[in-house]
Amino acid sequence: MKIIAVDPFYLRMPEITDAADGTQDTLLVRVRTDAGIEGWGECDASPLVSIAAYCCPMSHGNIINIRNSLIGETLDSPEDVLRLSGKVLRNGLDIQQIQHAYSGTEIALWDIIGKKLEKPVYLFLAEMSGTSDIAHPKLPYASVLFGDTPEDTYQIAVGLREQGYRAAKFGWGPMGKFGAKNDIALVHAAREGMGTDAQIMIYAGVVWGTDYETAYNRAEAFAEFSPTWLEEPLAPDAIDAYGSLTKKNPRVPIAAGEGSNTYRMAEDMIVHGGVQFVQIDTGRIGGIMPSFQVRQLAEQRGVQYVNHTFKSHLSLAAALHVFATNPDFNLLEYPAAGSELSQRIVKNPFKVDPDGMVRVNDLPGLGVQVDTDAIRPYLVPVNIHVGTETVFQNAFL
Amino acid sequence: MKIIAVDPFYLRMPEITDAADGTQDTLLVRVRTDAGIEGWGECDASPLVSIAAYCCPMSHGNIINIRNSLIGETLDSPEDVLRLSGKVLRNGLDIQQIQHAYSGTEIALWDIIGKKLEKPVYLFLAEMSGTSDIAHPKLPYASVLFGDTPEDTYQIAVGLREQGYRAAKFGWGPMGKFGAKNDIALVHAAREGMGTDAQIMIYAGVVWGTDYETAYNRAEAFAEFSPTWLEEPLAPDAIDAYGSLTKKNPRVPIAAGEGSNTYRMAEDMIVHGGVQFVQIDTGRIGGIMPSFQVRQLAEQRGVQYVNHTFKSHLSLAAALHVFATNPDFNLLEYPAAGSELSQRIVKNPFKVDPDGMVRVNDLPGLGVQVDTDAIRPYLVPVNIHVGTETVFQNAFL
């Protein structure tokens, strides 16, 4: 097959706020081949900045856009995906946004290969790495924002419990902004609302920057409520501070890694940051293969790999293929309060099975179907003119 | 003062090729205040992708564009520059391109503060860090591309020697592409052309990827021609491979770091990559202050800081302020074969003094003046429409 089109689509809700809700807009990428097979992927990234990486004029041999690297290329095998990823990243060496922007395409390339060869993506990863090809169920944890107060947080937690969630992550909002007493009250409320038998995770939203002492003190203070982890207490690139924090062995394990824009950043966080859970966003790090490489590193080093997913179930599918075959990596971030847009992107979202678990779809490719009719109303037309040239306008969705 | 405008300008030559010549286009940023003072900076980055980071619609609280973070803000002191940088980077936490795009603005903010307080930028850095405020001359090395053959390279080197250069770096082109014999012949030719008393540097252009064994073998093979360093033999994020290479102690020192998009990447390269020269592009890493922080780390660890500059003398000015006051960091990358565009950007380029050295300008701010009349013919109009809104069109240059 030859790649004939690589089309990013900017979708958004009518109103966008500065809340830490990543589902208010999104960037989908559709890749088409001359064999009539198409694949889809989703980026967790700025849609406009990422679109620019698909259409920017060449600056020199290290700034060549993603479309120019891919159109006309051959795509017949998993090896072709790796080869094309190498080409895109080499040609985009001096485009800082390249991994964010390319992630959706890389995922779409796997989707195509899976459809063509009639296999789910996780089986290619198993074959290429010589590891188990048996997929295991994951325990989904709801990923929600803290309420503005402990009382609101309690109500949110009760609601999640009533929906049947056995695990939930609470993040952002007031956490870290109004002192230790309020922080502790928030965690207490989350635990009370979810009940003693549930898992709760606390997401601090990079609020303490490089202040690992405060992060340590909070981790210790939260320990009585037994959270599974304290997530991103520090800035994504404050690796030394993470190292100092984890060396103090707080009673609550530390999780981080969603800010990994490259494999190396994740490796740095694992090896030098010393985190116990590494959270990778397949829609930021460059797609499925670099995520899988982080999973392998986590396996080598006794760290638990977890997906970071705060987009649609298209992203969730990509994330799930990466670590479906490792039974010890048993937690799945499962967006539970996403926008209407994010809930309409796929026709066959992942259901929580009666046993409370989520399973990868054993269908060709990613195993989810994008609902173009449902998302068309959210499409944002984008036109970019450089000099006398129109370098970008939307394809037909 | 209040910031009233932040305007990126995309400039380019009529023809762009895929040669590794970063001067074929550029992105300048002009910042204006209500006091009538304006500052300028330059990014070494994709102009279009970077412009998108100035105008992208908000996605959520972690994707807010640079203009929205800055317009209306107070700018009166060096501390304001640091505060505003913190705000821009926090608001752009999930924009991967943020450092590349913001670099030009950060440099412009320093230019403004210097003009307002009537001091060259390097003096603010000296005051804020409590270090020496005496600027020292630098030995400029010409930074050129290898010729296509050893013979061409020899002629280029002879030309540089005749222009009076006592140091020159040769890079990209055929290096690493046609086997060891050709690589060695290229270095031999550079040495012959420059003469035995000159310094030569070899820039391998990331050609060996993660293959540190080949990089080591080349470094050893090049040793008889006594290059000052072998630069970027490996991929920018191949930190483990750099570590393996430098642990073998090749007789030619290893240099790298231009790919550092963040302070942490430079720190990682120094601490875990083990390089002996760290090369920082002020137009990529987020501007002058993060570059200065890398300089300080280099001082602590006995590594030599060198600028990476392959743009105009506006970039050279920013680069020079960062390390002007350290006499041991005595080498200056000095673009010697840039495009006509790159040579027209400033009215008062840095001259090589009769003693063969280059000195920082003791003028307020960056100490260079942008020649708007000269560069206007190179301006590329950019218009970006998102939905019903024009989110970007060029300001008047």
Q: Cβ of A59 under 8 Å from any chain B Cβ? A: yes
CB-based contact B382 A385, cutoff 8 Å: yes
Sequence-distant (6+) residues with CB within 8 A of B302 are: none
Top residue of B11, B23, B48 to mutate, by most chain A CBs within 10 Å, is B48
The rounded distance, in Å, linking the Cα atoms of B30 and B36 is 12
Question: In this predicted model, what pLDDT tens digit does every residue of A180-209 receive, in sequence order?
Answer: 999 999 999 999 999 999 999 999 999 999
A57: nearest CA partner in chain B = B48
Asked if residues B255 and B72 have their Cβ atoms less than 8 Å apart, the reply is no
In 3D space, the residue among B284, B320, B367, B392 whose CA is nearest the CA of residue B42 turns out to be B284
Whose tokens are 């293959």? That residue is B211
Write the residue in A49, A93, A99 that is nearest to B53 by C-beta. A49
The residue in chain B having the minimum alpha-carbon distance to the alpha carbon of residue A56 is B48
Pairing of strands A382-386, A389-393: antiparallel
Question: Using an 8 Å Cβ cutoff, are A143 and A171 in contact?
Answer: yes
Q: Which has the closest alpha carbon to A121: A316, A266, A329, A285?
A: A316
Q: What is the pLDDT of residues B314-373, one digit of tens each?
A: 999 999 999 999 999 999 999 777 899 999 999 999 999 999 999 999 999 999 999 999
Work out the minimum CA distance from B107 to partner chain A, whole angstroms.
19
pLDDT tens digit string along B297-325? Answer: 999 999 999 999 999 999 999 999 999 99
| Chain B residue with the nearest C-alpha to that of A89 | B235
Alpha carbons within 13 angstroms on the beta-carbon side of residue B67 total 19
In B73-152, beta strands by DSSP E: 139-145
The nearest CA of chain B is from the CA of A140 a distance in Å of 24
Q: In Å, what is the CA distance from B341 to each residue of B14, B65, B116, B320?
A: 10, 28, 29, 21
Closest CA to B291 of B255, B312, B315: B315
The encoded tokens of residue A296 equal 């392998």
**Residue B294: predicted pLDDT:** 98
Of A24, A60, A100, the CB nearest to B96: A100
Nearest-angstrom CA–CA distance, A147 and A154:
8
The tokens describing B348, both together, are 């008062």
- Write the single-letter amino acid at A309: T
Are A48 and B57 in contact (CB < 8 Å)? yes
- Is B110 in contact with B365 (CB distance < 8 Å)? yes
> Nearest CA to B5 among B116, B82, B109?
B109
Q: Measured between alpha carbons, how far is B80 from B166 in angstroms, rounded to an integer?
A: 40
CA angle B70, B72, B77 (to 5 degrees): 75
Q: How far is CA B110 from CA A144, A268, B81, B85, B118, in A?
A: 41, 32, 7, 11, 11
- Give the nearest partner residue to A57 out of B48, B53, B55, using CB atoms: B48
CB < 8 Å from A in window 102-141 of B? none
* Cα(A44)–Cα(B129) distance, integer angstroms: 38
Tokens, residue B29: 């940023």
Neighbours of A390 (CB within 10 A): 12
For chain B positions 360-389, those within 8 Å of chain A (CB to CB) are 380-387
Shortest distance between the Cα of B42 and any Cα of chain A, in A, equals: 15
- Compute the half-sphere exposure of residue B190: CA atoms within 13 Å on the CB side of its CA: 33
Structure tokens at B163: 């222009």
Residue A16: Cβ-neighbour burial (10 angstroms; 0-12, 13-18, 19+): middle
- Say what the pLDDT of residue A25 is: 98
Residue B361 φ/ψ, nearest 5 degrees: -80, 125
Q: How would you classify the pairing of strands A25-33 and A38-43?
A: antiparallel
User: For position A127, what pLDDT does the model report?
Assistant: 98
Structure tokens at B380: 């590329």
How many CB atoms lie under 10 A from the CB of residue B258? 26
Q: Which of residues 19-38 of B touch A (CB under 8 A)?
A: 19-22, 24-25
For residue range A4-50, what is the model confidence (pLDDT) as tens digits?
999 999 999 999 999 888 999 999 999 999 999 999 999 999 999 99
Q: Can you list the positions of beta strands (E) in B165-224? A: 167-171, 199-203
Q: What is the predicted pLDDT for the residue at A201?
A: 97
β-pairing, B389-393 vs B382-386, is antiparallel
pLDDT at A170 (0 to 100): 95
Q: Which residues of B touch A267 (CB under 8 A)?
A: 239-240
Q: What is the rounded radius of gyration, in angstroms, for the C-alpha atoms of chain A? A: 21
The pLDDT of residue A258: 96
Segment 187-206 of chain A within 8 Å of chain B by CB: 206
Task: Please count the other Cβ atoms lying within 10 Å of the Cβ belonging to residue B180.
Answer: 12
**A58, A261, A391 ranked by CB distance to B96: nearest:** A261
Per-residue pLDDT tens over the stretch A285-296: 999 999 999 999
Q: Which residues contact A230 (CB under 8 A, 6 or more apart)?
A: A202, A204, A215, A218, A219, A222, A250, A252, A253, A254, A255
CA distances from B123 to A146, A206, B135 (A): 46, 33, 9
- Say yes or no for a CB contact (<8 Å) between B386 and A48: yes
pLDDT value at residue A115? 98
Given CB atoms, is A394 within the 8 Å cutoff of chain B?
A: no
Residue B33, SS3? strand
Spatial separation of the C-alpha atoms in residues A186 and A336, rounded to whole Å = 19
Rounded Cα gap, residues A358 and B327, in angstroms:
62
Radius of gyration of chain B (CA): 21
Q: Which whole number is the average pLDDT over A353-378?
A: 96
Q: Kindly state the tokens that stand for B65.
A: 């564009």
Ranges under pLDDT 70 in chain B: none
Instruction: Round the average pLDDT of chain A to a whole number and report it.
Output: 97
B337 touches chain A (CB under 8 A): no
Closest CA to B206 of B108, B306, B289, B279: B279
The span from the CA of B45 to the CA of B26, in Å, is 7
Residue A11, min C-alpha distance to chain B (Å): 10
Question: How far is the C-alpha of A365 from the C-alpha of A346, rounded, in Å?
Answer: 14
Give residue A120's Cα distance to chain centre.
19
Whether A18 and B47 lie within 8 Å, measured CB to CB: no
Between chain A and chain B, how many beta carbons pairs sit less than 8 Å apart? 180
Three-class secondary structure assignment of chain A: CEEEEEEEEEEECCCCCCCCCCCCEEEEEEEEECCCCEEEEEECCCHHHHHHHHHCCCCECCECCHHHHHCCCECCCHHHHHHHHHHHHHHCCCCCCHHHHHHHHHHHHHHHHHHHHCCEHHHHHHHHHCCCCCCCCEEEEEEEECCCCHHHHHHHHHHHHHCCCCEEEEECCCCCCCHHHHHHHHHHHHHHHHCCCCEEEEECCCCCCCCHHHHHHHHHHHHHHCCCEEECCCCCCCHHHHHHHHHCCCCCCEEECCCCCCHHHHHHHHHCCCCCEEEECCCCCCCHHHHHHHHHHHHHHCCEEEECCCCCHHHHHHHHHHHCCCCCCCEEEEECCCCHHHHHCECCCCCCCCCCCECCCCCCECCCCECHHHHHHHECCEEEEECCEEEEECCCC
| Optimal mutation site among B24, B27, B85, B94, interface A, most CBs of chain A within 10 A | B94
Question: In the structure encoding, which two tokens stand for residue A64, read together?
Answer: 């060549």
Q: Which residues of B touch A383 (CB under 8 A)?
A: 383-385
Chain B residues with CB under 8 Å of A94 CB are 22, 44-46
Query: Inter-chain contact A48–B391, Cβ cutoff 8 Å?
Result: yes
Encode pLDDT of A312-355 as tens digits: 999 999 999 999 999 999 999 997 778 999 999 999 999 999 99
* Phi, psi values for residue A40, rounded to 5°: -130, 150
Task: Identify whether the C-beta of residue A75 lies closer than 8 Å to the C-beta of residue A112.
Answer: yes
Write down the pLDDT at residue A143. Answer: 86
Does A47 contact B61 at a Cβ distance shorter than 8 Å?
no
SS3 B29: strand
Q: Record the tokens describing residue A180, joined without a space.
A: 């230790």
Taking the C-alpha atoms of residue A368 and residue A376, their distance in angstroms, rounded to an integer, is 17
d(CA A133, CA A327) in angstroms, rounded, equals 11
